[in-house]
């Protein structure tokens, strides 16, 4: 099984 990452792990909140 693979885990789905979210974009918050990569992109900063502005």
Partner 1 sequence: MFEARLTQGSLLKKVMEAIRELLNEASFDCSENGIQLQAMDNSHVSLVSLNMGSEGFDKFRCDRNLTMGMNLASLSKILKCASNSDAITLKAQDDPDTVTFTFESENNERVSDYSMKLINLDQEHLGIPDTEYSCVVKMPSADFARICKDLSQFGDCITISCTKEGIKFSVAGDIGTGNVKLAQTANVDKESEAVTVEMQEPVSLTFACRYLNHFTKATPLSEQVQLSLSADVPLVVEYKIGEFGHIRYYLAPKIDE
Q: Cβ of residue 7: shortest distance to partner 1, in angstroms?
A: 5
Q: How far apart are CA 12 and CA 14, in angstroms?
A: 6
Q: Which two tokens stand for residue 14?
A: 């502005």
Report the nearest approach of partner 1 to the CB of residue 14 (Å).
Answer: 4
> Between 1 and 14, how does the x/- string for binding to partner 1 read (CB under 8 A)?
xxxxxxxxxxxxxx
**Nearest distance from residue 8's CB to partner 1, in Å?**
6
The SS3 assignment for 11 reads coil
- Tell me the C-alpha distance between 7 and 14, whole Å: 13
Binding site for partner 1 (CB under 8 A): 1-14
């Amino acid at each position: 099984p693979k885990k789905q990452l979210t974009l918050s792990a990569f992109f900063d909140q502005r």
